[in-house]
């Protein structure tokens, strides 16, 4: 590297850091700038998408690979989804979301959120004193008199 070129180096605008403190979402522009920064410094980097945390991108050797990250039985697993730019960011997000919902230990699947016309009591219908004793019954046998 020529030292005189480094004097004018101001970084790569919108390149995503490994920590991604800004929670930046992947776009073509941010991925290309992150790739350029990695090539400039001769480094590799794993970054995550701010709008779909299960989506990861590994930038190494001039390539950008999309991965899905999920926890299974207490261990983190990575599954390769595809390479950028052959796969678009939107499709990678969808696939990462699908894998996360299918395999992650902590995820409630979308179909479990459905309710079958459950009726909830309004505040006017609830007798709070009765409800309290239904859930917290008093054991009169163990009260000293």
Angle at 17 between CA 57 and CA 93, to 5 degrees: 30
Could you tell me the two tokens for 137? 């019954």
Q: pTM of the prediction?
A: 0.66
Is 16 in a helix, a strand, or coil?
coil
- Select the highest-mean-pLDDT range: 4-8, 11-15, 83-87, 122-126: 83-87
Q: What is the pLDDT of residue 38?
A: 93
Q: Residue 116 above 70 pLDDT?
A: no
Q: What is the pLDDT of residue 60?
A: 95
Q: What is the pLDDT of residue 49?
A: 93
Q: Residue 117 above 90 pLDDT?
A: no
- Select the highest-mean-pLDDT range: 1-5, 44-48, 98-102, 116-120: 44-48
Q: By C-alpha distance, which of 80, 76, 78, 88 is closest to 28?
A: 88
Choice among 18-22, 30-34, 84-88, 122-126 with the minimum mean pLDDT: 122-126
Mean per-residue pLDDT over the chain, rounded: 78
- What is the C-alpha to C-alpha distance for residues 42 and 49, in angstroms, rounded to an integer? 22
Q: With the CA atoms of 31, 12, 58 and 23 taken in that order, what torsion angle do they form, in degrees rounded to the nearest 10?
A: -70
Q: By C-alpha distance, which of 51, 56, 54, 52 is closest to 18?
A: 56
Encode 82-119: b = buried (16+ Cβ within 10 Å), e = exposed.
eebeeeebeebbebbbebbeeebeeeeeeeeeeeeeee
pLDDT digits (tens, 9 = 90+) for 75-112: 899 999 999 999 999 999 999 999 998 888 877 655 55
Q: What is the pLDDT of residue 79?
A: 92
């Amino acid at each position: 590297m020529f030292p005189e070129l480094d004097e004018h180096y101001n970084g790569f605008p919108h390149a995503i850091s490994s920590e991604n403190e800004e929670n930046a979402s992947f776009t073509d522009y941010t991925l290309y700038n992150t790739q350029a920064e990695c090539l400039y410094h001769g480094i590799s980097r794993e970054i995550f998408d701010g709008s779909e945390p299960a989506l990861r991108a590994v930038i190494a050797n001039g390539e950008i690979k999309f991965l899905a990250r999920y926890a299974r039985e207490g261990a983190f697993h990575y599954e390769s989804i595809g390479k950028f730019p052959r796969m678009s960011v939107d499709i990678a997000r969808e696939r990462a979301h699908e894998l996360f919902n299918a395999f992650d230990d902590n995820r409630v699947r979308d179909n479990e959120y459905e309710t079958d016309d459950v009726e909830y009591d309004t505040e006017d219908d609830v007798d709070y004193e009765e409800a309290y004793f239904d859930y917290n019954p008093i054991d009169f046998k163990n009260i000293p008199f």
